[in-house]
Amino acid sequence: MVSLDDLNAASRHRFVEVLGGVFEDASWVAERAWGSRPFPTVTALHQVLYDVLSEAGENRQTEFLNGHPDLAGAAAQQRTMGEHSTAEQAALGLDRLDAAGFDRFSAMNLAYRERFGFPFLICVRRHTRASILREFERRSANSAAAERAAALAEVFRITRLRIAGLVQGPGMPAVGGGLSTHVLDTARGQPGAGVRVELFVLEPEGAELVSAGTTDRDGRVPGGLVPDGEPLRIGLYEIRFYIGAYFADSGLPVSDPPFLDVVPLRIGIAEAEAHYHVPLLASPWTFATYRGS
Amino acid sequence: MVSLDDLNAASRHRFVEVLGGVFEDASWVAERAWGSRPFPTVTALHQVLYDVLSEAGENRQTEFLNGHPDLAGAAAQQRTMGEHSTAEQAALGLDRLDAAGFDRFSAMNLAYRERFGFPFLICVRRHTRASILREFERRSANSAAAERAAALAEVFRITRLRIAGLVQGPGMPAVGGGLSTHVLDTARGQPGAGVRVELFVLEPEGAELVSAGTTDRDGRVPGGLVPDGEPLRIGLYEIRFYIGAYFADSGLPVSDPPFLDVVPLRIGIAEAEAHYHVPLLASPWTFATYRGS
Amino acid sequence: MVSLDDLNAASRHRFVEVLGGVFEDASWVAERAWGSRPFPTVTALHQVLYDVLSEAGENRQTEFLNGHPDLAGAAAQQRTMGEHSTAEQAALGLDRLDAAGFDRFSAMNLAYRERFGFPFLICVRRHTRASILREFERRSANSAAAERAAALAEVFRITRLRIAGLVQGPGMPAVGGGLSTHVLDTARGQPGAGVRVELFVLEPEGAELVSAGTTDRDGRVPGGLVPDGEPLRIGLYEIRFYIGAYFADSGLPVSDPPFLDVVPLRIGIAEAEAHYHVPLLASPWTFATYRGS
Amino acid sequence: MVSLDDLNAASRHRFVEVLGGVFEDASWVAERAWGSRPFPTVTALHQVLYDVLSEAGENRQTEFLNGHPDLAGAAAQQRTMGEHSTAEQAALGLDRLDAAGFDRFSAMNLAYRERFGFPFLICVRRHTRASILREFERRSANSAAAERAAALAEVFRITRLRIAGLVQGPGMPAVGGGLSTHVLDTARGQPGAGVRVELFVLEPEGAELVSAGTTDRDGRVPGGLVPDGEPLRIGLYEIRFYIGAYFADSGLPVSDPPFLDVVPLRIGIAEAEAHYHVPLLASPWTFATYRGS
């Protein structure tokens, strides 16, 4: 991490050294932005960088977009992309696709590039594999103008996240989301303590465990299911609450097998920068949930 | 079907001809019961038949229990069992197990028979494959006396169901259960009409579709998910409500993807002779369920 | 009650004798309708009668409207109105207003009559005193044309109810509403049996008990809180559930005083011809309600 | 406020000057406790003071109990009690009872004193007038020994609160409770912002407004309905939520009058030192509440 103060005081060389990779190999973006120092906030720094690109003319932009690797393409497999892209695609498992997955992405990349003249860009850190496939399909139906705008909007999101990870200072951009839960034992009017909770993301290949924990005395999973900070990946999730085991020890009347044992809540996350609070209100015979706050 | 009146007026020969197969090949049970005619109710007829067995002495009972085929055994595969057993085991798919499933049941049958001296008996029509495996395991830990009582209790349930299917008359035994649902749109204060609902049973091999339907103007699936009549098989189920599609047309604010799309309710059925009513109260952002009545 | 068949076969004299009072002293309405026999349904009979009035011209209508007594006026106090009006106003207590209430209605009647040239007409059987006062205020702001239409719409409702009470036959008009409840004990997954339930209507003078009962084994108040048949009077209501007493005997953990004792549900009824089902889902520590079906 | 450090360093004279009034005129309690300095926590200080009383012998205790004024008695009316008692009884309105209320308390005081030989003692700051009357009745049925113990337990609570208000230092006794709420708009999946909320206490003389506020952007009433700090008075309360006005502006389908307008939640508070969180989950057609955490 570098401080905003340091960047504001940096030479052009140093400035470009630090920020040159934010816009994927296009160090000219940082070079041009250097003249606008000092930046009052980190958000303003990012906006100025982005404005350089957005005012650069269509040819320059197309060239810039073409400087990006294919999503889940050969560069990802061979890890020959820029450092940022490598880490981002790896975190989602895009470098470990099996042959069928690789072929699927390859075919979509090819068709997209043919149609629009640049590779498919998306802010990978805001997405699950399932939502990326959905966006691929949805955006492939766009007009050329709409899709150029969509690609640039993704560049905005990608670079905002990179800046937030690189620069420390006042006015940080709001890039984080999170997911938390809370178990209430509505039969006894108390927090549901000691309940195992698991979070799965529902990917095309099946459910993958994201996190697991046990509720504390206040009925909450310490740290949340997805801690705030990173974007909350857009997609489908399932939270599983092991309330059968919890109520088995409660002295409350239950059946065998219990009416409610493992309660799955299947939810869709649409806002990567929001905090979702999804409580479970439960007795052995009823449960309720809602998007809370 | 034969009427209770006819049986009350029947010759011993005719009586045994009709009822002889109810207690699996043990026509002596029907023969002895004949003398107790007339029976005021079908329930009383069954009780008298059962009492003959239950007062017959331990040796006779052991012999009777040994007259039963192994559950999911070679006789089931080759369909060489009595007509009743064949149909009952087939309805649950016990005649179509793959090699692994067949081996699993064979090993359990062998161990059980070695331990208790008679084959494992269970009222198949009240169970799913999952709950049968669970009972196999649970009952294998019984003492000899407790397990003999458990086996006879199953004979009671098996024959009660057979009698209920054979004889028509006053005082029918209560053998039926059922499962129904009801969708309420709590954002608009009206029944949730046109919602697709699917019922799955969760078997060891995976989820199997039991029934599916669409809610009517009153928010109910016509006929219920499992109509009353037959026992409601003990086990785990999942009801899936396609409320995302329902609310997509509602004009209510939703997200993309929707917070709630396909809502799975996972429930355990413990009482085969009960009616379970499991409503869904839902808006695009909350849902609740409970065991209703 | 008279049958539709009888009316279809009746002489003009007999027809007018039976139906002449339906349109408050305006026997000419029945006289003109007689020629349209036979009527296939009771609903059709009412429609034809109403059409006579609605096509009678403005002067005739004004004269007809003026044939009605003031609501809660001197005629109500002295019971000198037509038989129908007397019963309808008495059922709501409009003949028993205290001096202040009488003065309030008198002043509103006077102002209304001055403004529109005929007395304020409303289908009393569809209303509470509170909702009549609300309608008085709301409709007093109408234009002359809108208010004439509103008055005739009330005549339609008044006479539809009278016809439904006088004539029996196919195609009865749907004039009835009702209110029912259902108590679910969500801590134990069973109907809440033996719970006292009271229904109050919230009138300007305070809460008045409408009905009370105790839930049966299925958690329902036998007959409902307001049985279907009559219109469900538009207005505000409070249902009180004595669940503290119910859970005191349950063995479930409760506090002293109980967190929930008498649970009041305050609801507004807007559709007089609808059935409202308002369940209570409760444990000692939570409750929920909704407009059900 | 005085610090625990100061008290630990104080002379006997100064110590008694500060704490002498905590045990109502019985400065000998403080005098004897002085020798036990230093006290590691404020809780320990209070315990030592209380132990002096509790080991003082029955005669001394009776004398001590008799040093207290009658609850809501002549001393309260004329404000001739100790400073602490005056403030505590005034806060609950016990000094402003009307003639009937005064007579009611007088009669109960007289009967109690006759039966037990000392005046009725209760920690007024933990109670509503309704719960005091209930305790009066309940405790009047106690045996002499049980009631002496009950009276001393109240002295413990009274003096713990006084100490917590007088002395500042580590290990403060936990004397505070509170009441908060949270409005969720479950039709739109967002906090219910801008909802008026009122809290009433239900006293024998009727409902009295305790606090009122409007929910903020997160659906909470800033500061809570009863801020933590003081005990939450034991008794019955009603929270009123003006959700009809909130949903009138929502664009969601509502009726006229609205099905839900002012929603009253009636709850009993039993634990004066607990925080009660009582959310409202509501759409225009449903609501739910529960004791949360």
- DSSP notation for A105-131: HHHHHHHHHHHHSS-----GGGB-HHH
pLDDT at A243: 98
CA-based nearest residue to A230, from A124, A130, A135: A124
Q: Over the stretch C127-154, which tens digit does the pLDDT of each residue have?
A: 999 999 999 999 999 999 999 999 999 9
Q: How far is CA B284 from the centre of its chain?
A: 35
Question: Smallest CA–CA separation between D289 and chain B, in Å?
Answer: 13
Confidence of residue A2 (pLDDT cuts 50, 70, 90): very high
Q: Over the stretch A55-66, which tens digit does the pLDDT of each residue have?
A: 999 999 999 999
Across the interface, of D257, D270, D288, the residue whose CB is closest to C287 is: D288
Q: How far apart, in whole angstroms, are the C-alpha atoms of residue D114 and residue D108?
A: 10
Question: Smallest CA–CA separation between A253 and chain D, in Å?
Answer: 20
Tell me what the pLDDT averaged over chain B comes to: 94
Q: Over the stretch C39-82, which tens digit does the pLDDT of each residue have?
A: 999 999 999 999 999 999 999 999 999 999 888 777 767 767 77
Could D188 and B286 be called an inter-chain contact, meaning their C-beta atoms sit closer than 8 Å?
no
- Whether residue A287 is predicted with pLDDT greater than 90 in this model: the reply is yes
Rg (CA), chain B: 23
Q: Over the stretch C259-280, which tens digit does the pLDDT of each residue have?
A: 999 999 999 999 999 999 999 9
Q: Is B284 touching D (CB cutoff 8 A)?
A: yes
pLDDT at A277: 97
Handedness of CA D131, D137, D141, D144 (dihedral sign): positive
Q: Is D226 exposed, middle or buried (0-12, 13-18, 19+ CB in 10 A)?
A: buried
Could D235 and C255 be called an inter-chain contact, meaning their C-beta atoms sit closer than 8 Å?
no
Residues C184 and C219 sit within 8 Å (Cβ to Cβ): yes
Q: Is D81 exposed, middle or buried (0-12, 13-18, 19+ CB in 10 A)?
A: buried
Residues C64 and C53 sit within 8 Å (Cβ to Cβ): yes
> Which chains sit next to A, with 3 or more Cβ pairs under 8 A?
B, C, D
Q: How far apart, in whole angstroms, are the C-alpha atoms of residue B144 and residue C256?
A: 49
- Give the length of chain D: 293
Could A186 and C186 be called an inter-chain contact, meaning their C-beta atoms sit closer than 8 Å?
yes
Q: How far apart, in whole angstroms, are the C-alpha atoms of residue C271 and residue C289?
A: 19
Q: Over the stretch B210-227, which tens digit does the pLDDT of each residue have?
A: 999 999 999 999 999 999
The conformational region for residue B206 under phi > 0 = left, psi -120 to 50 = alpha, else beta, is: left
**DSSP string for residues in B20-33:** TTTTTT-HHHHHHH
Question: Smallest CA–CA separation between A281 and chain D, in Å?
Answer: 9
Across the interface, of A184, A292, A293, the residue whose CB is closest to D293 is: A184
Q: Is D290 touching B (CB cutoff 8 A)?
A: no
Across the interface, of B188, B253, B283, the residue whose CB is closest to D253 is: B188
Q: Over the stretch A133-178, which tens digit does the pLDDT of each residue have?
A: 999 999 999 999 999 999 999 999 999 999 999 999 999 999 999 9
Could C291 and B191 be called an inter-chain contact, meaning their C-beta atoms sit closer than 8 Å?
no
Q: How many CB pairs under 8 A join C and D?
A: 80
Point out the least confidently predicted range of A49-53, A120-124, C188-192, D77-81.
Answer: D77-81
> Is the confidence metric ipTM above 0.95 for this complex?
no
CA-based nearest residue to A55, from A18, A85, A28: A28
Task: List C-alpha distances in Å: D158 to A290, B190, D234.
Answer: 42, 53, 15
What number of other Cβ atoms are within 10 A of residue A217's Cβ? 10
Q: How far is CA A71 from the centre of its chain?
A: 15
pLDDT in tens, chain D (293 residues): 899 999 999 999 999 999 999 998 889 999 999 999 999 999 999 999 999 999 999 999 999 999 998 887 777 777 677 777 788 888 888 888 888 888 888 899 999 999 999 999 999 999 999 999 999 999 999 999 999 999 999 999 999 999 999 999 999 999 999 999 999 999 999 999 999 999 999 999 899 999 999 999 999 999 999 999 899 999 999 999 999 999 998 999 999 999 999 999 999 999 999 999 999 999 999 999 999 98
Please report how the helices D12-19 and D144-166 are oriented relative to each other, as an axis angle in degrees rounded to 10. Answer: 110
The first and second tokens of residue B128, run together, are 């799913």
Question: Smallest CA–CA separation between B185 and chain A, in Å?
Answer: 14
Q: How far apart, in whole angstroms, are the C-alpha atoms of residue B207 and residue B185?
A: 27
Q: Which B-chain residues 185-224 have CB contacts (< 8 A) with chain D?
A: 186-190
Residue A212, strand partner residues: A198
Q: How far is CA A280 from the centre of its chain?
A: 24
Q: Is D288 touching B (CB cutoff 8 A)?
A: yes
pLDDT at A101: 83
Q: How far apart, in whole angstroms, are the C-alpha atoms of residue B270 and residue B126?
A: 10
CA-based nearest residue to D290, from C155, C102, A292: A292
pLDDT at B86: 81
Residue A269, strand partner residues: A235
Could C189 and B288 be called an inter-chain contact, meaning their C-beta atoms sit closer than 8 Å?
no
Residues B274 and B268 sit within 8 Å (Cβ to Cβ): no
Q: How far apart, in whole angstroms, are the C-alpha atoms of residue C179 and residue C171?
A: 24
Q: How far apart, in whole angstroms, are the C-alpha atoms of residue C31 and residue C27?
A: 6
Across the interface, of A131, A234, A263, the residue whose CB is closest to B266 is: A263
Q: How far apart, in whole angstroms, are the C-alpha atoms of residue B241 and residue B12?
A: 54
Question: Smallest CA–CA separation between A259 and chain C, in Å?
Answer: 9
Give this prediction's pTM.
0.93
The first and second tokens of residue A177, run together, are 């989301």
Can you tell me the mean pLDDT for C2-24? 95
CA-based nearest residue to B65, from B134, B154, B131: B154
Q: Is D83 exposed, middle or buried (0-12, 13-18, 19+ CB in 10 A)?
A: exposed
Name chain A contacts of B263, Cβ cutoff 8 Å: 266
If one compares B79 and D256, the residue with the highest pLDDT of the two is D256
The first and second tokens of residue D105, run together, are 């308390």
- The tokens 């108040």 sit on which residue? C221
- Whether residue B137 is predicted with pLDDT greater than 90 in this model: the reply is yes
Name chain C contacts of A183, Cβ cutoff 8 Å: none
- Whether residue A262 is predicted with pLDDT greater than 90 in this model: the reply is yes
Could D186 and B286 be called an inter-chain contact, meaning their C-beta atoms sit closer than 8 Å?
yes
Element (H, E) at C276: strand C275-277
Across the interface, of C188, C285, C288, the residue whose CB is closest to A285 is: C188
pLDDT at D155: 97
Q: Which D-chain residues 227-266 have CB contacts (< 8 A) with chain C?
A: 234-236, 244, 255-264, 266
Q: How many CB pairs under 8 A join A and D?
A: 29
Q: How far apart, in whole angstroms, are the C-alpha atoms of residue D151 and residue D132?
A: 13
Could A291 and B285 be called an inter-chain contact, meaning their C-beta atoms sit closer than 8 Å?
yes
- Whether residue A92 is predicted with pLDDT greater than 90 in this model: the reply is no
pLDDT at A225: 97
Reduced 3-state DSSP string for C124-173: HHHECHHHHHHHHHHHHCCCHHHHHHHHHHHHHHHHHHHHHHHEECCCCC
Q: Measured over all CA atoms, what is the biggest interatomic distance in chain A, rounded to whole angstroms? A: 72
CA-based nearest residue to B278, from B263, B267, B286: B267
pLDDT at A229: 86
Confidence of residue C283 (pLDDT cuts 50, 70, 90): very high
> Which chains sit next to C, with 3 or more Cβ pairs under 8 A?
A, B, D
The conformational region for residue C173 under phi > 0 = left, psi -120 to 50 = alpha, else beta, is: beta
Point out the least confidently predicted range of B69-78, B281-290, C144-153.
Answer: B69-78
Name chain C contacts of A187, Cβ cutoff 8 Å: 186-187, 252, 283-285
Q: Is C193 exposed, middle or buried (0-12, 13-18, 19+ CB in 10 A)?
A: middle
Reduced 3-state DSSP string for chain D: CEEHHHHHHCCHHHHHHHHCCCCCCCHHHHHHHHHHCCCCCHHHHHHHHHHHHHCCCHHHHHHHHHCCCCCCCHHHHHCCCCHHHHHHHHHCCCCCCCHHHHHHHHHHHHHHHHHHCCCCCCCHHHECHHHHHHHHHHHHCCCHHHHHHHHHHHHHHHHHHHHHHHEECCCCCCCCCEEECCEEECCCCEECCCCEEEEEEEECCEEEEEEEEECCCCCCCCCCCECCCCCCCEEEEEEEEEHHHHHHCCCCCCCCCCCCCEEEEEEEECCCCCEEECCEEEECCEEEEECEC
